[in-house]
Structure 1
Amino acid sequence: MKILKRILLLLSIILTVVVFINYPKLNMLSGYAAKNTASSVFVAERNLDFTNNTDNNFSPVNLATNTVNSDEKTATSSAFGLLTRNAIYREGLGAVLTLSDEDETATYLTPKRSVPDNKTPYPYGNAPQKDTIFKNVDYNLLNETLDILFDEKNKTRAAIVIYKDQIIAEKYAKGFTKESKILGWSMTKSITSTIFGILEHQNKINVQEKAPIEAWKDDDRSKITIHNLLQMNSGLAWDENYDKISDATKMLFLERDMTKTQVYKEFAGKPNESWNYSSGTTNLLSGILRNEFNTHQEYLDFWYTQLIDKIGMNSMLIETDLEGNYVGSSYAWATPRDWAKLGLLYLKNGNWLGEQIFTKKWVDYATTPTPSSNGWYGAQIWLNAGNRYPSAPSNMYFFSGYQGQNVFILPNENLVIVRMGLSKNADVDELLKGVINSIQN
């Protein structure tokens, strides 16, 4: 009997130690599951079973137990019954993880949105497009190319090819349609960058100026410019790792104000010499944008009135943190067709139906390779200057997000290609090759 008690005591000690060591990881696990569940159910309007089977079905997130309260619009996720996190949905702002009971009853401002244009044909409105058959397009090759993306290996949810303003191919996985909102993850960074381009076009900001961060004014970080931040070339330390507890995961799942995490980091390199991918930097940029406006309401409205709703991306919603800052690094939801509109705006050098929203000069700036990025990165936009995709032209650039969210812009070919999935390992180069080869110029 004494031996049994000792064994049980030892097992209890071991269990306590294991829980203590892994408790922070459980916090991240349940936090990701709760946030993702709330967003999927209340932003993307999927049901819980579909969410668990398609969005929370990968390790270790699938170990969490998730529930939703449709009346209160909340999601709760538990990690083995040891740690529980809650997320709430706020109309106009999306879902957010709570850090205290008061967060669930707090009041908040919401952005003002415009009414969708459902009369003008796509892409300039949301009505059905006027179909055009291009004699120089091999539609069989085009559709075969898209079909390959939807096998078990490639795990694609949606794919669209737009040529000369016309959707020439479009395909969706089971359970998804052209009305389905899909999280763009880090494609949101390109939206944040675009807001700077709009403000610069309106002569309201100069990205070459020093970053207006009070905490940096008396040390060497005062040399960092907004330009350095846009290129992720500030030299500041940051750990962007989603497989462990890192700066990125702590910011997304533990912070009330996500714009401040990068502020407190010290140098790990030198400005303009040390490219380092950082979601913290993008959210710092969102904070800088917030301070450009006289009121919080103006900040919330600007993203929609001057970009998102202006070009008819009416399905899009950018989620905020608990302090009301847009999580410009990660949390924009929209239909694939609306994501494509942002690509078209860049393809058209910022001109939308005759209105210059930002300039060609901005496009050139945003697609200029960052020093030390090996030709991979511009101003919150990925590049092919380093020939990451050898089958595509070197001047192709793209928005890119976690698990394979992509909008590719090919200026010479007059193409925008959207691919949204659950696997970053899809053979994207074959997709690009097949689409390009299907069009004879």
Structure 2
Amino acid sequence: MRLEDPMRRKSKLITVAIGVVAITGGGLLVASEGGAVLRVATGSVSRSLCSAAFVSNVDPGRVFREEQVPEGGMSYVAWALRYDINRTKREVRATIAGAFASRAAYRNGLGCLLVADSSAIPEARGLAETSSRPTTETLPVAYSHDARIARAIERAFEDPAPNKQRNTKAVVAFHDGRLIAEKYAPGYGPDTPIWGHSLSKSLTSALVGVLVREGRLSVGQPAPIAAWQQPGDLRAAITPDQLLRMTSGLPFDERGGPVNHMTRMFFLEPDTAAYSESVPLDATPGTAWGYSNLGYQLLSRMVRDAAGGSGVEAEAYIREQLFAPLKMHTAVIETDVAGTPIGASHVYASARDWAKLGQLYLDDGVANGHRILPDGWVEYTTKQSLDTGYGAGFWLNVKNDGVVPYWDAPWGMPQLPKDMFYARGYLGQFIVIVPSRRLVVVRMGMTHLGVGTGVGDLVAEILRSLPPTVPDQPASNQS
């Protein structure tokens, strides 16, 4: 099935989107916007390897080989790309043919920041080292002894063919709030923060829910974006609901060549939200669906502004309101130079911690006895947006026809129950939530186009191995 890497179009762009570069006779012949293309490439490498080295604490060389090189333009210029990891300064620099330099620097508590090569690094005073925070597992553990579950998880780590590597890094399964199974690749473990890519959008949706619960934001009112409030600007009517549902009219931002709205925003712009608010609409708000990293960066700035306006204040707010109540002790959300959390893409957390986010939604927004999300938020989140398989920050399993525009991939997983909904991210990151069976499954990896993660079959096999669900009994009418 083509479902297994629904973001295959992104694979050709972010990995790293330099197919317009041709190699000739010992030099680089660069097409239009070639300099920007190559800065996207070095920006992607420096940031990714910085986070690998100093957030995840995994082998950055292996991450480079598995994440950056396998496909797209990078494989053609890898011979000219150099990166330097400075563990004393905790930063990574990358160049192509000695030029187009990018630098990413680690900051305590805020992960890695992509900056211009000679720019000063904004301080992150007031944040403790992420690695010093407690990581003791607090959820109940009830490991399953079912051999079928064990075998299903083993298969998730197997490669379909010698030349098709899944690079699965972690699988975690919760049933009824209990950890029933888990497995990790060498170098990864229960406390390894793993890049969630667009799982981050689902977490950002939860943060918007927190603002709604506090009465600080209404999803149905026009979004608080000053730049859109000019007379006659159609964007003035865009709501946070439309941004969450990707129906704002902003363009499908992962199309348009190697330097598109997504890659420009992430790798070339110091203020991601300012860039996002400058992008013209492709459609009248509320009439069309388009995958939107831009919209989620605008939502992320709303979180930052509600927290006080700085990256440090935003991190403290996110930790207090979400990470701490969920006991997501490994979680890190990176920012741009303007201090806006990169809630569209750059959250790192262990597979167990990602599963805790899924458990929050399985438990209707309540964690450890405390309401985190407003009453009814999960139902709101899983309401279908237009004629799509998308809700408000999560993918749904309600649409059997058609494909995701531009990706040519199915909307859902037909082998799983209709009430299933899920978060998914580039290179095969998944949080699969099955309310009717009280199951959450997380799969993390670095799986490229044409390989397939097998996540739908993995979850289906786990479901077949669980005891049948007992239907709720009607309340007694006895006096």
CA distance in 2: counterparts of 1:347 and 1:410, whole angstroms: 8
Displacement of 1:83 in angstroms is 2.4
SS at match of 2:180: strand
SS at match of 2:357: helix
CA contact (8 A) 1:228 1:234 kept: yes
Change (3 A) 1:47 1:216: same
The reply to whether residue 69 of structure 1 matches residue 94 of structure 2 is no
Question: What amino acid does structure 2 have at the position aligned with 1:386?
Answer: K
CA contact (8 A) 2:307 2:317 kept: no
SS at match of 1:365: helix
CA distance in 2: counterparts of 1:141 and 1:99, whole angstroms: 51
Output the aligned Cα RMSD. 2.5
**Match for 2:195 among 171, 178, 183?**
183
CA distance in 2: counterparts of 1:333 and 1:16, whole angstroms: 35
Question: What amino acid does structure 2 have at the position aligned with 1:351?
Answer: V
Specify the alignment match of 1:25 in structure 2: 37
CA contact (8 A) 1:116 1:312 kept: no
The reply to whether residue 169 of structure 1 matches residue 181 of structure 2 is yes
Specify the alignment match of 1:275 in structure 2: 289
Deviations 1:86-115 (A, max 9, x none): 1111111111221252324x4345557998
CA contact (8 A) 1:113 1:309 kept: no
SS at match of 2:119: helix
CA contact (8 A) 1:315 1:334 kept: yes
Displacement of 1:43 in angstroms is 0.8
Displacement of 1:324 in angstroms is 1.1
Extract unaligned runs of 5+ from structure 2.
Answer: 1-22, 161-165, 401-411, 469-479
CA distance in 2: counterparts of 1:294 and 1:86, whole angstroms: 27
SS at match of 1:261: helix
Change (3 A) 1:20 1:208: closer
SS at match of 1:209: coil
- Once the two structures are superposed, the pairs formed by residues 35-434 of structure 1 within 5 Å of their partners are 35-59=47-71, 60-61=73-74, 63=78, 64-104=81-121, 106-109=122-125, 111=127, 122-123=138-139, 129-131=140-142, 139-153=146-160, 154-217=166-229, 218=231, 219-241=233-255, 244-296=258-310, 297-372=312-387, 374=388, 376-387=389-400, 388-423=412-447, 425-434=452-461
CA distance in 2: counterparts of 1:190 and 1:321, whole angstroms: 19
Change (3 A) 1:176 1:412: same
Count of aligned residue pairs for this structure pair:
418
Displacement of 1:12 in angstroms is 9.6
Specify the alignment match of 2:17 in structure 1: none
CA distance in 1: counterparts of 2:33 and 2:134, whole angstroms: 53
SS at match of 1:329: coil
CA contact (8 A) 2:66 2:167 kept: no
SS at match of 2:187: coil
Change (3 A) 1:339 1:273: same
Displacement of 1:229 in angstroms is 0.8
CA distance in 2: counterparts of 1:333 and 1:32, whole angstroms: 16
Change (3 A) 1:52 1:293: closer
Question: What amino acid does structure 2 have at the position aligned with 1:77?
Answer: A
CA distance in 1: counterparts of 2:112 and 2:86, whole angstroms: 13
Deviations 1:125-165 (A, max 9, x none): xxxx44365xxxx7111111111111123331111111112
CA distance in 1: counterparts of 2:24 and 2:320, whole angstroms: 58
Change (3 A) 1:277 1:130: closer
Change (3 A) 1:211 1:395: same
Question: What amino acid does structure 2 have at the position aligned with 1:34?
Answer: S
Change (3 A) 1:97 1:131: same
SS at match of 2:89: coil
Displacement of 1:294 in angstroms is 4.0
Change (3 A) 1:350 1:113: farther
Identity of aligned residues (%): 29
CA contact (8 A) 2:135 2:330 kept: no
Deviations 1:167-225 (A, max 9, x none): 22211122222222210001011111111111211222211110111121121211111
Change (3 A) 1:88 1:112: closer
CA distance in 2: counterparts of 1:266 and 1:132, whole angstroms: 51
CA distance in 1: counterparts of 2:392 and 2:178, whole angstroms: 28
SS at match of 2:444: strand
CA contact (8 A) 1:386 1:394 kept: no
Tell me the TM-score normalized by structure 1.
0.88
Extract unaligned runs of 5+ from structure 1.
Answer: 1-10, 124-128
Deviations 1:208-250 (A, max 9, x none): 1101111211212111111111111011224214972111001
Question: What amino acid does structure 2 have at the position aligned with 1:171?
Answer: K
CA contact (8 A) 1:178 1:336 kept: yes
Could you tell which deviates more after superposition, 245-254 or 289-298? 289-298
Could you tell which deviates more after superposition, 87-96 or 407-416? 87-96
CA distance in 1: counterparts of 2:456 and 2:143, whole angstroms: 27
CA contact (8 A) 1:344 1:416 kept: yes
Question: What amino acid does structure 1 have at the position aligned with 2:358?
Answer: G
Specify the alignment match of 2:5 in structure 1: none
Question: What amino acid does structure 2 have at the position aligned with 1:131?
Answer: A
CA distance in 2: counterparts of 1:321 and 1:242, whole angstroms: 23
Specify the alignment match of 2:46 in structure 1: 34
Tell me the TM-score normalized by structure 2.
0.81
Could you tell which deviates more after superposition, 307-316 or 40-49? 40-49
Displacement of 1:433 in angstroms is 1.4
**Match for 1:437 among 461, 464, 470?**
464
CA contact (8 A) 1:187 1:406 kept: yes
CA distance in 1: counterparts of 2:47 and 2:188, whole angstroms: 21
Question: What amino acid does structure 1 have at the position aligned with 2:177?
Answer: D
SS at match of 2:325: coil
